[in-house]
Amino acid sequence: MESIILGLDDIDNVEVEELETEDVNLIHLGIDCSSSMTGFKSMMNKELEKFKLEIGGSSASDQILIARSNFSDDLEIGGYQKVVDLETDYILGQMTVLYDTIVNGSTEMLKYIDELKSQGMRVNAVFAIFSDGEDTKSKSSISEAKQSILELNKREIITAYMEFGSVAAGMGTKIGFRNVLKTGGSGDELRQMFGILTTSVIQHSQLSVPSQDDDFFV
């Protein structure tokens, strides 16, 4: 059975009138929810809650909008919302539609960036993916995923890939992400990875001049 992309026809992004600043930091967070993450289900929920709490408590939180995309057998793509509205539940599936997430997530990010800029907003963006494995079910090809990341890189959008465990090793570089964070597959390393992600997002959002697009993880 082919994968399904959920939410694509009714993406719910924050309206410009609702924004409290003209400086906007967009964060796309693609989360691997495949069955190989079963042993980390509870921990992932806790790490997402901690991520939300710490980002929400930062001085730049009013400038940050986060879109969360969950991928396993299907892709559930979310719109850009304020940090307080970030969902932290973690529901597992079986397969991994990694390429579909990259292709569709990057397309929606670029659409929203163009919309914001057309209305006078200053926009910086981070396109991040967390995964512990390889693609197993996407309609999209790896070449399409590479082209999507190439376009983001050309637009000076930070592309960040978190490779959790040995099966995921090399995927970020293979697809063309400029920032790759590699760890083993233990619980301690998972916590460390999300800690680095949180610190990196906060630091990036607080900079008056954005960091280089190949120097995101701190």
- Cα–Cα–Cα angle for 102, 15, 7, rounded to 5 degrees: 40
Stated pTM of the model: 0.95
> Confidence class of residue 192 from pLDDT cuts 50, 70 and 90?
very high
Number of Cβ within 10 Å of residue 206's Cβ equals: 12
**pLDDT tens string 106-122:** 999 999 999 999 999 99
- Please indicate whether residue 3 or residue 2 has the higher confidence score (pLDDT): 3
**pLDDT tens string 125-176:** 999 999 999 999 999 999 999 999 999 999 999 999 999 999 999 999 999 9
Task: Set out the domains of the chain in order of their start, with CATH numbers.
Answer: 5-13+22-206 (3.40.50.410)
